Amino acid sequence: MLGFGDRGWGFALIAGALMTLAVSLTGLLIGSVLGSLIAWAKLSGHKVGAAIGDAYASLFRGLPELLVIYFVYFGSSALLTATGNLIGIEGFLGVPSFAAGALGVGIISGAYQAEVYRGAYLAIASGELEAARAVGMHRLLMFRRIIVPQVLRFALPGLGNLWQVALKDSSLISVTGLTELMRTAQVGAGSTRQPFVFYLAGLGLYLTLTFVTDRFFEAAEKRATRGLKRIHG
Amino acid sequence: MMSLDFIWQTFLRLLAALPLTIEVWFLSIVFGGFVAAGVTWMRVSGILPLSLFARAFIFIFRGSPLLIQLFVIYYGLPSLPFVRHSFLWTFLREPFYCAVLSLALCTAGYTSEIFRGALAAVPRGQVEAARACGMSGFLLFRRIILPIAMRQGLPAYSTEIISMTKATALVSMVTLWDVLNVALKIRNDTLITYTPLLVAGAIYFVLNYILARFFVWLEFVVSPHLRRRLH
C-alpha cells in the first residue's frame, strides 16, 4: 500500500514531501524579505518605522498560525474577487493555494526572522563598520561587502530554528487544499481507510525532513563560522 | 458589512467558545508539565535505556508538526482493532481527550528540553555548598535545585505557554468548537470573510498579551537578586 507500484502511495507521499519542502522554502524566503524589512525599520531609529515593525512582530507572534493561514487564504481570495469584480471579471477568483500558503507561512516567519536579523546586525563589531567607512566605502558597498555576509553568518543558527518552524507550520497549509505531505496523508488515509498507517508514514517523513535539513544547516553553520574563533567547543 | 452589531454578536459567540479553548490549554499544560518532568528525569537519569527513550520522545514530538500528531491520535489509533476493544477507547473516541492528549505530549517534548536546560544552568557551587551543609536527596532538590532551575527556565517556559495558546487553535480540526472553529462557522454561514477571523484574532491576541504581561511580572517577582544590582 505504501509501496511504489501501481496501487502504491509511495510516489504520492514523496511528491507531497517535496511539495512541503517547496512551500516551506518559499515561505522562508518571503519571511526573509519581510523580516529584513522589519529589522531595518526597527534599526533605522525612525519612531514610526520602529512602531510599525514592533506592531507587526508582536501581532504575528501573538496570533495562532492556523488563523493566520486561514485569514491569508480566505482574505486574499476575497480581495482578488473584489478587485476582479471592479475591473469587470465576474464570479469568485481564488488565489492559488501554494501562493496563499507560502505567504501565510512567510508572514509568520517574517515576524520571527526580524528579531534574528536585528540581533545579527547588532552582533557586528562597530569597528568593522567604522573601518569600512574609513576606507571610503559608500553605503551600498558597505552593505554588500561587510554587513550582509556577517549578518548571514550570525543569523544562521536562528534561521535554522525558524526553518524547522516553517517546515512544521507548512502542514497547516493542508487546509487550503494544497497537496503537500499532510494533505497527501489525509487523502491516502481517506481513500484506503488506513488512517494509522498513512498518518504514521507522514509523521515519519516529516521527521526525515526535519532531521536531514537540520544536518544541512549544521554543515552550513560550520562552514560559515570556519573563520571565527570559538569561545567554547 | 462591518456593522457594529454584527461585530458585537460575533464577539459574544466567540467569547462563549473561549472556555473550551482555555480548558484544552490548561489541561494540556498541566499534563504536559507532568510528562515533561518524567521525560527530563529519564533524560538526565544516566540510565541508558531511559535516556534513549527520552531522546526518542523529544525527537519525535519536536521534529514533526502537531497537526499530524493530533491526526495519528484522533484518526489513527481508533482505527486499530485492539485499541477499539481496550479501555483506551472510552477516551480516544472523545475528540476532547484526543486533543488534550496530543497537545500535552507535544508540549512535553519542548518543555522537557526547557527543564533540562534549566537544570543544567544551576551553578555547581550552589549544589556543592548545599552538600557541604549536609543537605542531600530530596531536600537538596526542593530547597536549592528546584527554585534556581525554575527561575532559570521561566523565560523559555513562558514562551512555550504562549505558543500553546496558539496551538489550541488546531483542535478546530478535530471537530471541537473552540474560538477558531466558531469563527470559521460564522464565516461559512454569513459569507463575511474578514470580521469573524479578525474578532477571533483579537481574542487570541488579548489572551496572549495578558499572559505575556503576567510572565514579565512573574519574572520580576522571582528575580530580586537582579533588581538590586540595577541601583
Q: Choose between B85 and B159: higher pLDDT.
A: B159
Task: Specify the pLDDT at position B226.
Answer: 78
Contact B18/A at CB under 8 A: no
DSSP H stretches of helix in A44-177: 47-62, 65-86, 97-122, 126-134, 139-142, 148-169
| Residues B117-169: tens digit of each pLDDT | 999 989 999 999 999 999 888 899 899 999 999 999 999 999 999 999 999 99
Contact A147, A128 (CB under 8 A): no
Q: Is the pLDDT score of A225 beyond 90?
A: no
CB–CB contact A62 B209 (8 Å): yes
Contact B158/A at CB under 8 A: no
Kindly report the nearest CA distance between residue A18 and chain B, in angstroms.
Answer: 16
Contact B214/A at CB under 8 A: no
Q: Is the pLDDT score of A211 beyond 90?
A: yes
Residues 6+ apart with CB under 8 A from B153: B114, B115, B117, B118, B121
Range of the domain at B198: 4-225
Q: What percent of chain A has pLDDT over 70?
A: 96
Task: Specify the pLDDT at position B9.
Answer: 93
Banded model confidence at residue B93, pLDDT cuts 50, 70, 90: confident
Task: Specify the pLDDT at position B230.
Answer: 55
- What is the residue-averaged pLDDT of chain A? 91
Q: What is the ipTM of this complex?
A: 0.90
Q: Is the pLDDT score of B187 beyond 70?
A: yes
Banded model confidence at residue B8, pLDDT cuts 50, 70, 90: very high
Q: Is the pLDDT score of B2 beyond 80?
A: no
Could you tell me which residues of chain A have a Cβ less than 8 Å from any Cβ in chain B? 59, 62-67, 70-71, 74-75, 78, 164, 167-172, 174-175, 182, 185-186, 189, 193-196, 199-200, 202-203, 206-207, 210-211
Residue B123 counted as domain residue: yes
Q: What is the pTM of this model?
A: 0.90
CATH 2.40.30.10 fits A10-224, yes or no: no
**Residue B159 CB-density burial (10 A; 0-12 exposed, 13-18 middle, 19+ buried):** middle
Residue B231 counted as domain residue: no
CB–CB contact A202 B68 (8 Å): yes
Task: Specify the pLDDT at position A109.
Answer: 96
Spatial separation of the C-alpha atoms in residues B106 and B95, rounded to whole Å: 16
CB–CB contact A66 B172 (8 Å): yes
> Which among B64, B187, B193 is the nearest to A203, CB-wise?
B64
Domain ranges of chain A: 10-224
What residue of A is the nearest CA neighbor of B202?
Answer: A63
Task: Specify the pLDDT at position A16.
Answer: 95
CB–CB contact B77 A67 (8 Å): no
Spatial separation of the C-alpha atoms in residues A188 and A9, rounded to whole Å: 7
Across residues A190-211, what is the average pLDDT?
94
Cβ-Cβ contacts under 8 Å, A164 against chain B: 63
Task: Specify the pLDDT at position A5.
Answer: 67
Q: Which CATH number fits the domain that encloses residue B170? A: 1.10.3720.10
Query: How many separate domains does chain B show?
Result: 1
> Which among B67, B169, B194 is the nearest to A64, CB-wise?
B169
Kindly report the nearest CA distance between residue A65 and chain B, in angstroms.
Answer: 7
Banded model confidence at residue A39, pLDDT cuts 50, 70, 90: very high
Task: Specify the pLDDT at position B86.
Answer: 85
Spatial separation of the C-alpha atoms in residues A72 and A172, rounded to whole Å: 12
Contact A156, A222 (CB under 8 A): no
Contact B168/A at CB under 8 A: yes
Residue B107 counted as domain residue: yes
What is the number of other CB atoms lying within 10 angstroms of the CB of residue B226?
Answer: 11
Residues 6+ apart with CB under 8 A from A199: A185, A189, B68, B71, B72, B75, B76
| Residues B14-65: tens digit of each pLDDT | 999 999 999 999 999 999 999 999 999 999 998 999 999 999 999 999 999 9
Task: Specify the pLDDT at position A27.
Answer: 97
DSSP class of residue B88 equals T
What residue of B is the nearest CA neighbor of A20?
Answer: B65
